[in-house]
């Protein structure tokens, strides 16, 4: 039951790679990864939950083992990515599910929730932001590109795609960086180095402004539908700050907020603690 299976789903002409574990008769949990990683970020979490949940972790289009169509054939926006993942949930028979959202997975998952609130049973947000106060100063160069999408401002964002930055994202804020495996970050760097991947990622950094523009819509969904929500947060995240986690309580008074002594990639060091929080929250 806890074995992980590696599958590919055909979604409107795109191959979406995904990890699956657990019994299909169990409560369903959709795991949505962020930048610059893929579904392999859940490699430690899935076995800890597969005895009680049916889990699926897709690689978003352009990430991991999923198709990376050229930009001329697929416009890399969060709206389009959310559309693919929405169809993916239908293809794999995820009619009602809880969603674990992280980083880029948050605006993807929140879009699904706004479109189909009846399908969402709960939300676990692990450093998945929906509030302006959750955005750190680290977003300044990205915001500059939103305001002026000049070639120079786009070029300045390439630093976010470097192996050094990937390593920094994984280790910054970790209480003990020696506990952070190099495996995930090295795999991420492999995917980032593929021909054309850089321009795709720059497109998405530019389009992230569409997510910020939708924060009021996401917040309205939270207030209106009050989904059970657990915010479990690496408190030392250099990009998404603890006030972004606390802000969920403003719209969902019953939201549960828990912090772990970790950075952005909290699952690298705190998978067991996060799994325990999820099991307690969703029991």
**CATH code, 264:** 3.40.50.1820
Q: Is pTM, for the whole model, over 0.85?
A: yes
Token duo for residue 77: 């926006």
User: 239: which DSSP letter?
Assistant: S
Q: Residue 138 sits in which domain range?
A: 5-282
In whole angstroms, give the CA distance from residue 283 to residue 279: 6
Catalytic residue chosen out of the listed positions 33, 40, 54, 264: 264
User: 119: which DSSP letter?
Assistant: G
In whole angstroms, give the CA distance from residue 233 to residue 151: 35
- Active-site annotation holds for 264: yes
- 4 CB-near residues (< 8 Å, 6+ apart): 19, 20, 21, 43, 46, 47, 50
Q: What is the pLDDT of residue 1?
A: 55
In whole angstroms, give the CA distance from residue 134 to residue 131: 5
Please give the distance of CA 253 from its chain centroid, rounded to a whole number: 23
Q: Into how many domains does the chain fold?
A: 1
pLDDT tens per residue across all 283 residues of the chain:
579 999 999 999 999 999 999 999 999 999 999 999 999 999 999 999 999 999 999 999 999 999 999 999 999 999 999 999 999 999 999 999 999 999 999 999 999 999 999 999 999 999 999 999 999 999 999 999 999 999 999 999 999 999 999 999 999 999 999 999 999 999 999 999 999 999 999 999 999 999 999 999 999 999 999 999 999 999 999 999 999 999 999 999 999 999 999 999 999 999 999 999 999 999 8
């Amino acid at each position: 039951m806890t074995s992980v299976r590696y599958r590919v789903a055909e979604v409107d002409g795109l191959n979406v790679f995904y990890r699956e574990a657990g019994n299909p008769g169990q409560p369903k949990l959709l795991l949505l990864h962020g930048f610059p990683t893929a579904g392999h970020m859940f490699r430690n979490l899935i076995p800890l939950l597969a005895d009680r949940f049916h889990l699926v972790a897709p690689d978003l289009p352009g990430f991991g083992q999923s198709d990376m169509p050229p930009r001329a054939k697929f416009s890399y926006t969060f709206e389009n990515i959310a559309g693919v993942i929405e169809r993916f949930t239908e293809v794999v028979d995820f009619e009602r599910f809880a969603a674990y959202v992280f980083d880029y997975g948050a605006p993807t998952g929140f879009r699904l929730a706004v479109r189909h609130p009846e399908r969402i049973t709960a939300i676990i947000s692990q450093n998945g932001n929906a509030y302006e106060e959750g955005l750190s100063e680290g977003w300044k160069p990205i915001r500059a590109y939103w305001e002026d999408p000049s070639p120079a401002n786009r070029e300045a964002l390439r630093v976010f795609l470097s192996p050094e930055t990937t390593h920094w994202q994984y280790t910054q804020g970790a209480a003990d960086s020696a506990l952070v495996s190099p495996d995930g970050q090295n795999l991420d760097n492999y995917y980032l180095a593929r021909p054309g991947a850089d321009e795709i990622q720059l497109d998405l950094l530019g389009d992230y402004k569409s997510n910020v523009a939708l924060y009021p819509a996401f917040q309205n969904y939270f207030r209106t539908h009050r989904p059970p929500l657990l915010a479990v947060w690496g408190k030392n995240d250099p990009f998404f700050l603890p006030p972004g986690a606390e802000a969920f309580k403003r719209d969902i008074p019953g939201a549960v907020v828990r912090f772990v002594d970790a950075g952005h990639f909290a699952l690298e060091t705190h998978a067991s603690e996060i799994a325990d929080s999820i099991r307690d929250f969703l029991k």
